[in-house]
Each structure stands twice: as structure tokens, then as C-alpha cells.
């Protein structure tokens, strides 16, 4: 039986797409069959992040009944399956996000885990993704504006009868300025699934059109995403055993 997990946020620019891709890659790391769908119809980024900005068949064609869901699926070199959305303004303008609920049965046959990269904010696109979800994961940064918007998203998801399983806090610097994990948990009243550090290697992996797990598999960020995936799968993962050894640390510097 498949599970549909929506990655969403109340605020843009918090690392939602990066999290959708890398959490999917982390689930794939543990042997799971994963499909990431870009349901951010107006400003899609999954295809851009993974080197498939324009594809012959995409989510928009599926929603308009011009293609079947499996025809819009592409396999990235990392082994991750993706279903991009169109970058065309004209195409996105005539695509109705409310039709997302009509493809549930089709996409459920493709992979065991289906991750939806939702639009940011509280509009119709985000709500349509939430309606399709079995579970919701909130992505936020440890700063007050992002936390406030995340709280709004949680309330909307709960009003729609959806289970919010936790929050992933990204771009963590561990300085005195940002909100501490205890404060974030207290404000949002949901579990913290993981903390992703501010890491230049994440930007480097995006520049390579790949996941952090493929480009820098032993980085702190990669291990953090693996820890979250292991938690979702309820399996053991010892991140300490996945740390780079001394030689790898030395060679990385050069």
C-alpha cells in the first residue's frame, strides 16, 4: 500500500523543494521505491533541481487527461523517480490544481512512497496538495516569520482532517540569534523530525543537479536526511558510522 506525504510550508524559500528531493533520496537509500511529484504548479522547481526543467510529458498533461501518470515519470541518476510540472506560464495557467485529487489512484500504483513538493503559502495549490496527502510534513527555518507561517499551515492541515507528523527545520546555524529547537517545538506543538544544518554542500549538490546524498553522502546534511527517513521507516540508522574518516576529511579540504 502506498503512502502520500506532502512536504509543505507557509513561507517560501525555507528549503521545501530541497527537503522533498533529499528526503525522497534518503528513503531510496534505505531501499524504498520513491516518487517525488512537483505539485507546485505555478512555480515548479523539482525538475530544475534535478536537471529536467523541460520534459515531453509532465504533471500538467496528466491533470488535463492528455497522458497517464506513469508516462510523466522520469528516473533520475540517483534512482529517484520524479514527475516534474511544466515551466510554461501558459500551461500552468490552464492547469487546475483541484484536479490533483483525481490522480490519487494512478500515482498510488507507481511507488510505495509518494512525496508531493507542495506550493508554499496557504493558497489553492497548497490546499489541493494537502487534500491529497496521507501525512503532512512541515518545513521551516528557525526564525519567527517562518515559524509563524508554519503554524498557520499546521492549523489549515488539521482543519482539513490531515495528520501533521512533524516539522523539519532547515538552514540551522546553531547561533544565538535563531530560535532554539525547544522553542520551535513549543510554538508548533508537533514533533521535530530533524534539523538540517546550513550547508554550502547543499547548494553544491543543487548546482550538480543532484541530491546531497549522491554528491556528498557523508555530509552532515545527508546524514540528517537519512536520520529523518529512518525515523519515518521506523528502522535503525547510526549516523556516527556514516561520518567521513580522517583521510576523507583531509582530502575534502583540497
Percent of the chain exceeding pLDDT 90 equals 88
Segment 99-122 mean pLDDT: 95
What pLDDT digit, counting tens, does each position of 17-51 carry? 999 999 999 999 999 999 999 999 999 999 999 99
pLDDT at 5 over 80: yes
Domain ranges, ordered by start, for the chain: 3-253
3-class secondary structure per residue, 72-99: HCEECCCCCEEECCCCCHHHHHCCCHHH
Residue recorded with cell 534539523:
195
Given a contact cutoff of 8 angstroms between Cβ atoms, the answer to whether 196 and 137 are in contact is no
Q: Is the pLDDT of residue 194 over 60?
A: yes
10 pLDDT exceeds 60? yes
Question: What is the third-level CATH fold of 3-253?
Answer: Rossmann fold (3.40.50)
- DSSP letters, 87-133, are --HHHHHT--GGGGGGGHHHHHTT-SEEEEEPPSSSSHHHHHHHHH-
Q: Please enumerate in sequence order all residues whose Cβ is within 8 A of that of 107, keeping only pairs 6 or more positions apart, or say none.
A: 2, 4, 35, 37, 69, 83, 114
How does 233-252 read in b/e, with b if 16+ C-beta sit within 10 Å?
Answer: eeeebeeeeeebeeeeeeee
| pLDDT band for position 225 (cuts 50, 70, 90) | very high
pTM of the entire structure?
0.93
Is 173's pLDDT higher than 90? yes
Amino acid at each position: 500500500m502506498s503512502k502520500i506525504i506532502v512536504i509543505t510550508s507557509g513561507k517560501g524559500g525555507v528549503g521545501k523543494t530541497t527537503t522533498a528531493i533529499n528526503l525522497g533520496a534518503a528513503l531510496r537509500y534505505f531501499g524504498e521505491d520513491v516518487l517525488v511529484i512537483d505539485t507546485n504548479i505555478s512555480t515548479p522547481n523539482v525538475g530544475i533541481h534535478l536537471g529536467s526543467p523541460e520534459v515531453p510529458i509532465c504533471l500538467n498533461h496528466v491533470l488535463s487527461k492528455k497522458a497517464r501518470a506513469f508516462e510523466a515519470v522520469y528516473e533520475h541518476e540517483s534512482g529517484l523517480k520524479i514527475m516534474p510540472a511544466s515551466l510554461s506560464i501558459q500551461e500552468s495557467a490552464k492547469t487546475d490544481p483541484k484536479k490533483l485529487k483525481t490522480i490519487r489512484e494512478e500515482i498510488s500504483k507507481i511507488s510505495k512512497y509518494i512525496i508531493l513538493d507542495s506550493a508554499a503559502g496557504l493558497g489553492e495549490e497548497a490546499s489541493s496538495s494537502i487534500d491529497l496527502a496521507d501525512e503532512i510534513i512541515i518545513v521551516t527555518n528557525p526564525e519567527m516569520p517562518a515559524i509563524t507561517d508554519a503554524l498557520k499551515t499546521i492549523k489549515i492541515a488539521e482543519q482539513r482532517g490531515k495528520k501533521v507528523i512533524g516539522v523539519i527545520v532547515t538552514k540551522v546555524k546553531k547561533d544565538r540569534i535563531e530560535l532554539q529547537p525547544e522553542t520551535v517545538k513549543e510554538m508548533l506543538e508537533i514533533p521535530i523530525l530533524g534539523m538540517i544544518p546550513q550547508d554550502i554542500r547543499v547548494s553544491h549538490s543543487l548546482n550538480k543537479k543532484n541530491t546531497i546524498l549522491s554528491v556528498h553522502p557523508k555530509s552532515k546534511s545527508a546524514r540528517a536526511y537519512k536520520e529523518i527517513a529512518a525515523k519515518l521507516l521506523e528502522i535503525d540508522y547510526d549516523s556516527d558510522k556514516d561520518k567521513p574518516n580522517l583521510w576523507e576529511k583531509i582530502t575534502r579540504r583540497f
